[in-house]
């Protein structure tokens, strides 16, 4: 069986695009937040999440994922308040940043453990305080890394990106599909 170590509706929707049955089991972990290399945190947190669920389901294939926004050498997670969300958007406006999603796939019974990160560059147009407030009225930002959801009104942010859109949303599918296919978890395309 395939398990997504998350209750995120966005990740659930993305994984369903692979047309393979799966279950969602939330990971009970305390995410890492510090360290010398902030860009490595999403991959390390994905491993924690997948490892936590795989310990309970050792014969199943478990996917863990974690997304962060890297800007100015800092990894932005989910804002703790509306004010923090507005501050994050103000920091991101008018410049480029990277969205990094770490992914881990673990099957303990088969001694399989693989993890990686995918990066996508995102650029926002210059925004006024009023435009940021308007965006936040349209999109609930407290449960989103970097205080935005690229799939919800990207035009309000003047958002452009280079790389995989699904990575920004929270689960890069290209490499994940390749790994799951190589392991025989999902059938090859067209097969």
Which pair of structure tokens corresponds to residue 155?
A: 């035009």
Task: Write the DSSP symbol of residue 141.
Answer: -
**Do 150 and 91 form a contact (C-beta atoms < 8 A)?**
no
> Of the listed 28, 37, 60, 66, which one is catalytic?
66
Q: What are the Cα distances from residue 135, in Å, to 28, 77, 141, 151? A: 32, 18, 9, 13
Three-state SS annotation for 16-48: HCCCCCCEECCCCCCCCCCCCCHHHHHHHHHHH
| Alpha carbon of residue 30 to chain centroid | 16
Active site (annotated) includes residue 66: yes
> Phi-psi bin for 72: left (phi > 0), alpha (psi -120 to 50), beta?
left
CB atoms within 10 A of CB 44: 18
**Do 108 and 136 form a contact (C-beta atoms < 8 A)?**
no
Q: Which residues are catalytic?
A: 66
């Amino acid at each position: 069986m395939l398990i997504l170590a998350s209750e995120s509706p966005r990740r659930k929707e993305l994984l369903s695009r692979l047309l393979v049955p799966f279950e969602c089991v939330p990971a009970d972990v305390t995410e890492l937040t510090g360290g010398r290399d902030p860009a490595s945190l999403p991959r390390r947190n994905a491993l924690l999440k997948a490892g936590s669920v795989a310990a309970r389901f050792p014969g199943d294939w478990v996917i863990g994922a974690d997304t962060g926004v890297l800007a100015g050498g800092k990894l932005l997670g989910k804002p703790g308040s509306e004010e923090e969300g507005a501050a994050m958007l103000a920091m991101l406006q008018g410049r480029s940043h990277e969205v990094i999603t770490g992914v881990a796939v673990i099957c303990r019974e088969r001694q399989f453990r693989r993890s990686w990160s995918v990066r996508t560059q995102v650029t926002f147009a210059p925004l006024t305080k009023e435009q940021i407030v308007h965006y936040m009225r349209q999109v609930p930002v407290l449960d989103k890394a970097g205080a935005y959801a690229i799939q919800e009104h990207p035009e309000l942010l003047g958002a452009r990106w280079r790389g995989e859109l699904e990575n920004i949303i929270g689960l890069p599918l290209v490499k994940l599909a390749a790994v799951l296919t190589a392991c025989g978890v999902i059938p090859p395309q067209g097969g």
